[in-house]
Structure formats: structure tokens, C-alpha cells
Amino acid sequence: NAGVTQTPKFRILKIGQSMTLQCTQDMNHNYMYWYRQDPGMGLKLIYYSVGAGITDKGEVPNGYNVSRSTTEDFPLRLELAAPSQTSVYFCASSYPSSSGGSYEQYFGPGTRLTVT
């Protein structure tokens, strides 16, 4: 049981390039999330999904896109990388409570992205 895995661990992009950050979980969790964390700051929610085919914006979605075609995978796409997207990106997953709320979330190890 690997939990939540993310690839790549590190990436340097040039301005205007695009890339996909991969996230996979093997816990059969319905809910998945993408966060970014800038140095010394808290987590900011980018996008989340409550099941395959369903995605919704979080606090800071501009410049990103997501898809959820399977329960296991939730990739995050950066189309035109900008220096402001330099950050650490964490993927997380959770199962829903009986009320539909989120139980505790489990995080992947993160992707450190630098855009220059």
C-alpha cells in the first residue's frame, strides 16, 4: 500500500512551458486535492475532486487545470508556466464521511517546481 504518490519530485521549467504533475493513490479514496505551498506559507487549495469525472476549483485555480478520469489518478496541468507558479505542490486524498464531508487527508511527498 503505497498511499499517495507524486511524480516528478523536482522540476525546473522555463517560462511558457507546460507540464503535468502526476498524482496517484491506491487507497480507493473518492476525494482528491491539489495544494500549493509557497515558502513559509500555508497550504492553498488549487483544485479538488469528489469522484471520477467531477472536479471543482479551490482557492487559487488560475493557471492550472485538472482531470479525474479514474478514482486513482488526479493529474494537475500547468499550461503556460509563470514564475509565480514556483512552489511545492502537494496532492492529497481522503474518503468521505457519512455526511459527505472530508475525513482526514493523506498527502503525497510533493513536487518542487521552479519556473525561471
Partner 1 sequence: RKEVEQDPGPFNVPEGATVAFNCTYSNSASQSFFWYRQDCRKEPKLLMSVYSSGNEDGRFTAQLNRASQYISLLIRDSKLSDSATYLCVPGTQGAQKLVFGQGTRLTINP
For the sheet with 64-66, list strands across it.
Answer: 4-7, 19-25, 76-78, 64-66
Strands 111-115 and 87-94: antiparallel
Q: Of residues 50, 60, 65, 71, which one binds partner 1 by CB under 8 A? A: 50
Contact indicator for 66, 34 with CB cutoff of 8 Å:
yes
* Contact between 31 and partner 1 per CB under 8 A: yes
Distance in Å, CB of 69 to partner 1, minimum: 19
Residue that is written with C-alpha cell 492550472 in the block: 64
Distance in Å, CB of 77 to partner 1, minimum: 21
Q: Supply the DSSP symbol for 58.
A: -
* Contact between 18 and partner 1 per CB under 8 A: no
Residue that is written with C-alpha cell 507558479 in the block: 85
Distance in Å, CB of 84 to partner 1, minimum: 20
Distance in Å, CB of 35 to partner 1, minimum: 8
Judged by the rule CB under 8 A, the positions of this chain that interact with partner 1 are 31, 33, 41-43, 45, 48, 50, 58, 88, 90, 94, 96-97, 99-110, 112
